[in-house]
């Protein structure tokens, strides 16, 4: 996540579960501490598999593969 979200600017992170239901839609302006905000939000997810898409200025920066939350 930190490698992708490294430039200053506004980012949007959308996390969907394996059924395609949107679980988390985060929007924040990147600062040094913003990474912690995203990680703490991910920590609140129920166990399961999730897809994370990261956008910057409406451009898809990264579609991270399914991550497993225990």
Q: Where are the domains of the chain?
A: 10-69
First to last CA, the chain: 18
Beta carbons within 10 angstroms of residue 57's beta carbon: 9
Tens-digit pLDDT profile for residues 13-62: 888 887 877 777 877 666 655 555 666 666 677 778 888 888 887 788 87
Show Cβ contacts of residue 8 under 8 Å, excluding neighbours closer than 6 positions: 29, 30, 31
The Cα-based distances of 69 to 3, 15, 43, 45, 57 in angstroms read 20, 12, 8, 7, 28
pTM, two decimal places: 0.59
């Amino acid at each position: 996540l930190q490698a992708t979200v490294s430039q200053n600017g506004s980012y949007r992170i959308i996390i969907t579960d394996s059924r395609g239901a949107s679980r988390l839609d985060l929007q924040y302006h990147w600062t040094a501490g913003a990474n912690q905000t995203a990680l703490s939000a991910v920590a609140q997810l129920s166990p399961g598999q999730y897809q994370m898409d990261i956008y910057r200025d409406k451009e898809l920066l990264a579609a991270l593969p399914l991550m497993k939350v225990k």
